[in-house]
Chain A
Amino acid sequence: MSEAVETKVEEKEIDLAGANEILDHYEDMPGALMPVLQAIQEHYGYIPEPTVHLAAERLNVYTSQIFGVLTFYAQFHLEPRGKYIIRVCKGTACHVRGANRIGDTIKERLGVGHAETTEDLKFTAEYVACIGACGMAPVIMVNDATYGSLTVQKMNEVIDKYVSMD
């Protein structure tokens, strides 16, 4: 029953004010689902479940339908993401030059694999395909900064640097 789902809205403590404001803006526009979801992600950093139920109710679309959209597009994140997003390139060039070792190092140090986030919400790891810097393979990006020609040791240094940052 939808009621059972609805009560979840109250259980999780998410401030829905932001989502409500976004919905105020888009409510009467037809086909507003995509921009609403993008705006929600922009606001919360991911798409919290209560906002999905809220959007479903206010835009009068099925929750299942929104979930379909969210899982179809890679751009949407259903879980909270870390402050630092580490994109590990697993493209061919990087793969050949040891991208797996880089991924493993992150996993060992921070405990997160692909699409996982540390409990303190500081780091999220993501394995991605070629990011267009094959010349410096293996490559990672931490938010907007690129680190290339990585070795396990260099990777550890990068991690140290971010761990010591806020």
Chain B
Amino acid sequence: MVNLTIDGKQITVSRTATIYEAALEAGINIPVLCYAKKLLPFGACRVCLVQVEQMKGRLIPACTTPVSEGMVVTTMSDEILKVRKTVLEFLLVNHVIDCPVCDKGGECDLQELTYDHEVVCNRFQGEKFNLETDEVNPLIERNMNRCVLCGRCVRVCDEVVAYGSYSFINRGFETKIATAYDRGLNCEFCGQCVSMCPVGAILPRPFKFKARPWQLKEVDTVCGYCGNGCTVTLGVLNNKVETIRFNDKIGVNDGNLCIRGRFGYSYVNSEERLTAPLVRKNGELVAATWDEALQAVADGFKQAGGAGLGILSGARLTNEELFLLKNLAKQAGTANLDHSGGECYKGLTEGVAGALGVAASTGTFPQVEECEAILAIRSDFYETHPVFGMVVNQAVKRNEAQLAIVADKRGKFAKLPGAKTLLHRPGQELEVLNGLARVLLDEGLARTEGVEGLDELRQALADFSAEQVATRTGVAAEALRETARQFAAAKKSAILLAYGLPYTAYSRELGIAAANLAILLGIPGRDGSGLYLCGEKANSQGVIDLGIMPQAGGLGAQAMLEAAANGKLSALYVVGEDVLTSYPDRGKVEKALDKVSFLVVQDIFLSPTAAKAHVVLPAASFAEKDGTFTNAERRIQRVRPGIPLPGQAKTDGAIFAALTEKLGGNLAFTGAEAIFAEIGRQVPAYAAVTFNGIGPQGFVWGGEILAPARRRLQPAGGATAVDGAFQLLTGSALYHSGTVSTRAKGPLAVINEAYVEFGRDDAKALDVKDGDQVKISGNGVELCLKAKVGNRLPKGVLFAPYHFAAAGINRLYKGEAAVAVTVSK
């Protein structure tokens, strides 16, 4: 700690603090412009100049200067004021000052500073910038005439996003911020630069001329897309979500968002939302009253008679709603309940739970920033959980964490400094993990104290020597050894694995193999270390915590579909999931939905699944709900309604409650708060907090480090190789999440249809160019898709994202790790 005096105040701060940070801690606000909390100090604007007694003769930038013992700082004097004013005058010389038409007006740092310092006239005169506005993309507008060259956009895109769109180009008066070759922006569109720009130079286009900032009602809630659980602050005007506001004060994401969270909100305002219940009459779905629809559902369920009913839920309902759903299932007398078609969650519920006795990630996201070694299994982690991906970026770029990626393609992580990709043949991640475990055991690097199942694992790994694994997977034996040693030496490490509908194959085994590695490395329960199995959807963890899984004697999703197709289930209730599009093996799903005599679908859109229903119940989006989500690191966070429900739509919870009553049940509790308390009675981990006790950072059940109940190694069977000259992988595209994002203008603006991605070599050999239509055949199905050429895929590997209904990737993908396909033009 260091003692210093600022404006006469004695303060003690950490040795690493800057003068600016020290002042802030003492409640003294030094004006800044180029400084941003999450970025490294830059010192470009000179707005933050202060006097330091020990450094006489010049003014010192507070944002870059570290404190030192005995420092005496003055933050305000005539001299300082004069210099600050001059700095501002200089900034305003070339600036367009078009505040009346600038969307930033009212929350612009330059405007504020100018006003605060009463810069009423400018002693300097100069040429005004006259640069063209970049409006090539539909999401982000860049007007460099308003730029103050603070470099915040350049830095955030590098330091946090690791994309690197921008740089300072030219020099002198000509200096400006530009993309490569000064072209239109074409990037990840995460919008971090939008949130970092202190002026109106980078703005969200969908928000243009929608509202003045001060007119917006701000509602803090949780992003409805992925399991990252980012805080999103809705900017609401006239009951419409008009934008997502920057908010780095609360939540786990430090104000960072991905394209889905920042620009993917428009679907909640969509004209296509379901606004009234629909009942099928004479083959047509027609609008009906709630009473009619609910009665029809209740009658149908009764007719199906308990075991004849199957319930398939999505993972974007609130915990409170899930609780009511489970209750409803009980009331309806069925044990057939599940939440994911491919049962991809088994990596957690069977794999990790078997190993550690807990079905959840063991650490929290912010801890990963301090990890020395990070193992990402599957390159898609950044696509499924981009903002957690940004934590990894910072761990590697800022703290020099060693990153190893076990993957079948080179994703974005592969480009991080020093990142090592253990590139394996499709579907072989399991082999690689087993190989790493074997090295740890062979070289005596494993932590085996208090570990069960050691001998069994040793035996099971007999055929997994580094050399054997190398032959089967294509990963060099030496790379396996090196990686294992690196991780064994690290004090804090993390293992990351994302799961979700397109990642069904070997989910249980992968969970086990990842847990084995974690145990052998001593990760579970160790301070700062963690095993992260992260679900795809906003409440994937809540679904597991609340037990939306087959109840005693009940069927899981796959078994339900089979039973339905064989006439053994007569009613299906599908809630919040377009199963026809998102479940693996569309043929199988189709058969089940067609065969079942009573299909009820509850959703916010008339999805392809809903279009087949006998009764459609209009539900609510995340922006209309009150309750909680639990993110992939066990953080229970408040979801708050920002807008009213469209038309007659009801929240899923209200529908469940109404149905329960129709079925003769009686709920003794209403409202999210009461239900949350009720959850605590059944799920002990949730009893540690009350609904209103959930703070701005949420509540992490089980604590920052979740203590494992045991450490049991379990053998995980080896993966079988996929043959064929070409192997198709499916998965998430960064810009989308599940199927809902295909109704959101933001993500659609970047990727609006399915595609199949080729590596450069394959594209060249097949003479396929970007945008060509190609035919992909496999599993007896032929799909026609647009080609996209990139540099992520090794030879023979193709990738197609799963989100798009029309493309029908799941006609071909039936839940396997990779599908052998042929390609023709």
Contacts and interface: CB of A to CB of B under 8 A. Distances in A.
Interface string A49-84: 100100001001111111110011000000000000
Query: Considering residues B166, B167, B180, B789, which has the most beta carbons from chain A within 10 angstroms of its beta carbon?
Result: B180
B197 to A, nearest CB: 16
B170 A71 contact: yes
B169 A3 contact: no
Contact of A72 (B171, B180, B791): B171
Given A3-B790, A6-B790, A72-B171, A64 B179 contact: yes
Contact of B178 (A6, A64, A66): A64
Contact of B167 (A4, A10, A52, A62): A62
A1 B164 contact: no
A5 B186 contact: yes
Interface string B685-708: 000000000000000000000000
Given A6-B791, A7-B769, A62 B164 contact: yes
A67 B166 CA distance: 9
B417 A67 contact: no
A65 B164 contact: yes
A64 B166 contact: yes
A51 B573 CA distance: 57
A1 B169 contact: no
Query: Considering residues A5, A7, A49, which has the most beta carbons from chain B within 10 angstroms of its beta carbon?
Result: A7
A64 B165 contact: yes
Interface string A1-25: 1111111001000000000000000
Contacts of B181: 49, 63, 67
B186 A72 contact: no
B788 A3 contact: yes
Contacts, number: 67
Interface residues of A, number: 22
Contacts of A1: 186-188, 750
A66 B164 CA distance: 11
A61 B178 CA distance: 16
Nearest to A70: B169
B167 A67 contact: yes
Contact of B170 (A3, A52, A66, A72): A72
Given A1-B186, A1-B187, A7-B769, A65 B167 contact: yes
B404 to A, nearest CB: 16
B158 interface: yes
Given A64-B179, A67-B178, A57 B166 contact: no
B556 to A, nearest CB: 38
B770 interface: yes
Contact of B417 (A49, A60, A62): A60
Nearest to B755: A3
B187 A62 contact: no
A71 B415 CA distance: 25
A69 to B, nearest CB: 8
Query: Considering residues A1, A4, A57, A66, which has the most beta carbons from chain B within 10 angstroms of its beta carbon?
Result: A1
A76 to B, nearest CB: 12
Contacts of B417: 60
Contact of B789 (A3, A61, A62, A67): A3
A6 B757 CA distance: 13
A6 B186 CA distance: 12
Contacts of A57: 791
B168 interface: yes
Nearest to A57: B791
Given A6-B789, A68-B167, A60 B415 contact: yes
B167 to A, nearest CB: 3
Nearest to A63: B180
A49 B182 CA distance: 12
Given A67-B178, A67-B180, A72 B169 contact: yes
Contacts of A5: 180, 186
Contacts of A62: 158, 163-165, 167, 180
A49 B169 CA distance: 16
Contacts of B178: 64, 67-68
A60 B158 CA distance: 13
Interface string B149-185: 0000000001000011111111100000011111000
Contacts of A67: 167, 169, 178-182
A137 B644 CA distance: 78
B101 to A, nearest CB: 28
B770 A7 contact: yes
A1 B757 CA distance: 13
Nearest to B770: A7
Contacts of A49: 181
Contacts of A63: 164, 180-181
A62 B158 CA distance: 9
Contact of B186 (A4, A52, A61, A66): A4
Contacts of B760: 6, 10
A7 B788 CA distance: 9
Given A5-B186, A7-B769, A7-B770, A64 B167 contact: yes
Contacts of B186: 1, 4-5
Contacts of A4: 186, 770
A2 B757 CA distance: 13
A6 B790 CA distance: 7
A62 B169 CA distance: 13
B137 to A, nearest CB: 11
Contacts of B790: 2-3, 6
A10 B791 CA distance: 12
Nearest to B788: A3
A6 B769 CA distance: 12
Nearest to B181: A67
A159 B442 CA distance: 78
Contacts of A72: 168-171
Nearest to A53: B180
B180 A7 contact: no
A68 B168 contact: yes
Contacts of B769: 7
Contacts of A6: 760, 789-791
A15 to B, nearest CB: 15
B758 to A, nearest CB: 10
Contacts of B789: 3, 6-7
Nearest to A73: B171
A63 to B, nearest CB: 4
Nearest to B154: A64
A129 to B, nearest CB: 14
Contacts of A71: 169-171
A67 to B, nearest CB: 4
A48 to B, nearest CB: 12
A15 B167 CA distance: 27
Interface in B537-562: none
A47 B168 CA distance: 19
A1 B790 CA distance: 10
Interface string A35-50: 0000000000000010
Given A1-B186, A3-B789, A6-B790, A66 B169 contact: no
A65 B760 CA distance: 24
24 contacts: A1-B186, A1-B188, A1-B750, A2-B790, A3-B770, A3-B790, A5-B186, A6-B760, A6-B789, A6-B791, A7-B789, A10-B760, A10-B764, A62-B167, A63-B164, A64-B164, A64-B165, A64-B166, A64-B167, A64-B179, A67-B167, A67-B182, A71-B170, A71-B171
Interface of A: 1-7, 10, 49, 52, 57, 60-68, 71-72
Give the 7 A-B residue pairs with the shortest CB-CB distance, closest first.
Answer: A62-B164, A68-B167, A63-B180, A3-B790, A71-B169, A64-B167, A64-B180
Given A6-B789, A60-B415, A63-B180, 13 more contacts: A1-B186, A1-B187, A1-B188, A2-B790, A3-B770, A60-B417, A62-B158, A62-B163, A62-B180, A63-B164, A65-B164, A65-B167, A72-B169
Interface of B: 158, 163-171, 178-182, 186-188, 415, 417, 750, 757, 760, 764, 769-770, 788-791
